[in-house]
Chain A
Amino acid sequence: MDQTYYLGIDIGSTTAKLVLARGRDDGTADVENVIYETYERHFSRVREKILDLLDALPLDGNVALSAAISGSAGLGLSQAIGVPFVQEVFATGEVVRMLAPDTSAVVELGGEDAKIIFFDGAMDERMNGTCAGGTGAFIDQMATLLNLSVGDMDTLSLEHTRIYPIASRCGVFAKTDIQPLLNQGANKADVAASIYQAVVNQTIAGLAQGRRIGRDKDGNPRKVLFLGGPLFFCRGLQERFVETLQLTRDETALFPAWGPYAVARGTALYAAKSLHRITLDELRAAIRHSLGERAVLDTLPPLFASEDDYRTFTKRHEKASVPTADIASYEGSAWLGIDCGSTTTKLVLISEDDALLYQYYASNQGNPVEIIRTELTKIYDLCGDRIAIRGSAVTGYGEELIRNAFGVDLGIVETIAHFTAAKHFMPEVDFILDIGGQDIKCFRIANGAIDSIMLNEACSSGCGSFLETFAKSMGFTAAEFAERGRFSTHPVNLGTRCTVFMNSSVKQSQKDGATPEDISAGLCISVVKNAIYKVIRVNSAEELGRHVVVQGGTFYNDCVLRAFERELGNEVIRPQIAGLMGAFGAALYARSHVSAEPGLLSPSALADFSHTSATTVCRRCTNHCRLTVNTFSGGRRYISGNRCERGAGAENADTTVPNLYEFKRNYLFGLQEQSRSGGRGTIGLPMALGMYELAVLWHKIFTELGYEVILSSPSRRSTYEKGQFSIPSDTACYPAKIMHGHIEELIERGVDTIFYPCLSYNIDEHQSANHYNCPVVAYYSELLHGNMDSLQKTDFFYPYLNLDSEKILTRTLGRALRAKGTNVTDREVKAAVRAGFTAYHAYMDAVRAEGQRALAYAREHGRRIMILAGRPYHIDPEIGHGIDGLAASLGFVVVSEDSVSELAQSPTLHVLNQWTYHARLYRAAMFAAGNPDVELVQLVSFGCGIDAITTDEVREILETRGKFYTQLKIDEITNLGAVKIRLRSLMGALDDRDAGEVTMGGADA
Chain B
Amino acid sequence: MSKRNVPKQDYISFTKEMKKDYKILVPMMLQMHFKILCGVLRNFGYDVELLETSGPHIAEEGLRHVHNDACYPAIIVIGQFIDAIKSGKYDPDKTALVFFQTGGGCRASNYVSLLRKALKKAGYPQVPVVALSFVGLEKHPGLSLSLPLIHKIVYAFLYADLLMLLVNQCRPYENTPGSAQELADKWTQTLADALTEKTFVSYKQVKDNYRAILRDFAALPRTLRPAARVGIVGEIFVKYSPLANNDLERFLVSEGAEPVVPGLLDFFMYTVYANVIDYQLYGLHPVKHKIFNLLFDFFNKKKNDLIEIIEEQGIFEPPAHFDHVINLTNGYIGVGTKMGEGWLLTAEMLELAEAGVENIVCTQPFGCLPNHICGKGMMRPIKERNPDVNIVAIDYDAGATKVNQENRLKLMLANAKKSNVHIKNQ
Q: Which of B46-54, B162-170, B178-186, B398-406 contacts its partner? A: B398-406
Determine the chain A residues whose CB is within 8 A of the CB of B117 once the complex forms.
Answer: 910-911, 952
Determine the chain B residues whose CB is within 8 A of the CB of A75 once the complex forms.
Answer: 403, 406-407
Q: Which of A90, A493, A773 is the one whose CB lies under 8 Å from B105?
A: A773
Q: Which of B63, B401, B407 is the one whose CB lies under 8 Å from A87?
A: B407
B88 contacts A by Cβ under 8 Å: no
* Chain B: minimal CB distance from A347 (Å): 37
A209 to B403, CA, bound (A): 24
Instruction: Answer whether A508 and B401 are a contact pair too, CB < 8 Å, given A130-B395, A782-B334, A782-B373.
Output: yes
* Contact between B414 and A776, CB atoms less than 8 A apart: no
Instruction: Answer whether A905 and B5 are a contact pair too, CB < 8 Å, given A298-B56, A508-B403, A760-B339.
Output: yes
Size of the B side of the interface (Cβ < 8 Å), in residues, is 82
Instruction: Answer whether A910 and B9 are a contact pair too, CB < 8 Å, given A729-B377, A773-B105, A782-B333.
Output: yes
Q: Which of B6, B334, B404 is the one whose CB lies under 8 Å from A913?
A: B6
Determine the chain A residues whose CB is within 8 A of the CB of B8 once the complex forms.
Answer: 908
B332 contacts A by Cβ under 8 Å: yes
Determine the chain A residues whose CB is within 8 A of the CB of B373 once the complex forms.
Answer: 775-776, 779-780, 782-783
- Map CB proximity to A onto B87-120 as digits: 1 under 8 Å, 0 otherwise: 0000000000000000011110110111011001
B338 contacts A by Cβ under 8 Å: yes
* Contact between B411 and A89, CB atoms less than 8 A apart: yes
* Chain B: minimal CB distance from A5 (Å): 24
B78 contacts A by Cβ under 8 Å: no
B225 contacts A by Cβ under 8 Å: no
* Contact between A948 and B107, CB atoms less than 8 A apart: yes
B381 contacts A by Cβ under 8 Å: yes
* Contact between A122 and B105, CB atoms less than 8 A apart: no
Determine the chain A residues whose CB is within 8 A of the CB of B154 once the complex forms.
Answer: none
Size of the A side of the interface (Cβ < 8 Å), in residues, is 88
* Contact between B113 and A86, CB atoms less than 8 A apart: no
* Contact between A808 and B282, CB atoms less than 8 A apart: yes
Determine the chain B residues whose CB is within 8 A of the CB of A774 once the complex forms.
Answer: 105, 107, 369
A812 contacts B by Cβ under 8 Å: yes
A127 contacts B by Cβ under 8 Å: yes
* Contact between B403 and A511, CB atoms less than 8 A apart: yes
* Contact between A949 and B114, CB atoms less than 8 A apart: yes
Q: Which of A772, A778, A787, A909 is the one whose CB lies under 8 Å from B377?
A: A787
Residue of B nearest to A511 (CB): B403
B301 contacts A by Cβ under 8 Å: no
* Contact between B281 and A800, CB atoms less than 8 A apart: yes
Q: Which of A385-393, A395-403, A495-503, A608-616 contacts its partner? A: A495-503
* Contact between A945 and B67, CB atoms less than 8 A apart: no
* Contact between A501 and B399, CB atoms less than 8 A apart: yes
Q: Which of B12-20, B68-76, B190-198, B292-300 contacts its partner? A: B68-76
A229 contacts B by Cβ under 8 Å: no
* Contact between B69 and A786, CB atoms less than 8 A apart: no
Determine the chain A residues whose CB is within 8 A of the CB of B7 once the complex forms.
Answer: 905-909
Determine the chain B residues whose CB is within 8 A of the CB of A947 once the complex forms.
Answer: 69
Residue of B nearest to A774 (CB): B369
Instruction: Answer whether A802 and B282 are a contact pair too, CB < 8 Å, given A127-B408, A905-B5, A913-B6.
Output: yes
Determine the chain A residues whose CB is within 8 A of the CB of B224 once the complex forms.
Answer: none
A943 contacts B by Cβ under 8 Å: yes
Determine the chain A residues whose CB is within 8 A of the CB of B65 once the complex forms.
Answer: 539
* Chain B: minimal CB distance from A542 (Å): 12
* Chain B: minimal CB distance from A862 (Å): 34
Q: Which of A501, A533, A732, A946 is the one whose CB lies under 8 Å from B372?
A: A732
A804 to B4, CA, bound (A): 13
Residue of A nearest to B418 (CB): A90
A773 to B281, CA, bound (A): 16
* Contact between A539 and B284, CB atoms less than 8 A apart: no
A912 contacts B by Cβ under 8 Å: yes
* Contact between A497 and B399, CB atoms less than 8 A apart: yes
A645 contacts B by Cβ under 8 Å: no
B258 contacts A by Cβ under 8 Å: no
Determine the chain A residues whose CB is within 8 A of the CB of B267 once the complex forms.
Answer: none
* Contact between A507 and B403, CB atoms less than 8 A apart: yes
- Map CB proximity to A onto B297-339 as digits: 1 under 8 Å, 0 otherwise: 0000000000000000000000000000000000011101111
* Chain B: minimal CB distance from A497 (Å): 3
Q: Which of B105, B397, B406 is the one whose CB lies under 8 Å from A497?
A: B397
* Contact between A505 and B399, CB atoms less than 8 A apart: yes
* Contact between A802 and B284, CB atoms less than 8 A apart: yes
- Map CB proximity to B onto A751-774 as digits: 1 under 8 Å, 0 otherwise: 000000010110010111110111
Determine the chain B residues whose CB is within 8 A of the CB of A85 once the complex forms.
Answer: 410
B141 contacts A by Cβ under 8 Å: no
Interface centre among B3, B105, B110 (most CB of A within 10 A): B105
* Contact between B334 and A121, CB atoms less than 8 A apart: no
Determine the chain B residues whose CB is within 8 A of the CB of A497 once the complex forms.
Answer: 397-399
* Contact between B3 and A779, CB atoms less than 8 A apart: no
Determine the chain A residues whose CB is within 8 A of the CB of B406 once the complex forms.
Answer: 75
* Contact between A766 and B401, CB atoms less than 8 A apart: no
Determine the chain A residues whose CB is within 8 A of the CB of B336 once the complex forms.
Answer: 758, 760, 800
* Chain A: minimal CB distance from B297 (Å): 23
A125 to B410, CA, bound (A): 12
Determine the chain A residues whose CB is within 8 A of the CB of B388 once the complex forms.
Answer: 122
Q: Which of B282, B337, B404 is the one whose CB lies under 8 Å from A504?
A: B404
* Contact between A504 and B369, CB atoms less than 8 A apart: no
* Contact between A915 and B105, CB atoms less than 8 A apart: yes
* Contact between A728 and B380, CB atoms less than 8 A apart: yes
Residue of A nearest to B395 (CB): A130
B172 contacts A by Cβ under 8 Å: no
Within 8 A of A (CB), among B410-424: 410-411, 413-415
Determine the chain B residues whose CB is within 8 A of the CB of A477 once the complex forms.
Answer: none
**In the A-B complex, the 3 residue pairs with the closest CB atoms:** A497-B399, A783-B377, A122-B387
Q: List 26 A-B contacts (CB under 8 A).
A: A75-B407, A86-B414, A87-B407, A88-B407, A90-B414, A127-B407, A129-B395, A210-B380, A496-B63, A501-B401, A502-B399, A534-B68, A728-B372, A729-B371, A732-B372, A758-B336, A767-B4, A767-B6, A774-B105, A779-B373, A782-B377, A804-B282, A808-B283, A812-B281, A948-B70, A952-B67
B contacts, CB < 8 Å to A: 1, 3-10, 56, 63-65, 67-71, 104-107, 109-110, 112-114, 116-117, 120-122, 278, 281-284, 332-334, 336-340, 366-374, 376-381, 383, 387-388, 393, 395, 397-408, 410-411, 413-415
A contacts, CB < 8 Å to B: 72, 75, 85-90, 121-125, 127, 129-131, 209-211, 298, 493, 495-498, 501-502, 504-505, 507-508, 511, 533-534, 537, 539, 728-729, 731-732, 736, 758, 760-761, 764, 766-770, 772-776, 778-780, 782-783, 786-787, 800, 802, 804, 808, 811-812, 905-915, 943, 945-949, 951-952
- Further 11 A-B residue pairs, CB within 8 A, beyond A760-B336, A786-B380, A911-B117: A496-B398, A731-B366, A768-B6, A776-B372, A776-B373, A782-B337, A786-B332, A787-B381, A804-B282, A906-B7, A908-B8
